[in-house]
Amino acid sequence: MSKLTFRYEAVDIEQISSDLREEALHMKNPQTFLVTIFSDESYERAFVERADVLYDPESKRMGIAWGTDATWADVDGLESGIEMYLNDGEEWNQRN
């Protein structure tokens, strides 16, 4: 399987999924992002998907909703958390 790559941009909380918005109410400083996912490192648009991310830098907890209900894990940081979710599902599940 090829490695998935991504770009992300900060978005207003109203732009993310309702699952994640509800959880943001329980965070002091929630950060919300829209992630564009590509099928390879060249960022070609042959396969493009989007996911919503809610990240709490204080607790280092991240929720990602990619076409389904949100899934959660403890992460080391924003970018490494997205990378883990996309390319190391086993590690993501261990940190869930």
Q: Which residues pair with 8 in a beta bridge?
A: 35
Say which residue, 96 or 44, is predicted with more confidence: 96
d(CA 68, CA 18): 11
Read off the pLDDT of residues 36-68 as tens digits, 9 standing for 90 and up: 998 766 555 556 789 999 999 999 999 999 877
d(CA 29, CA 49): 27
pTM of this prediction? 0.89
pLDDT of residue 48: 73
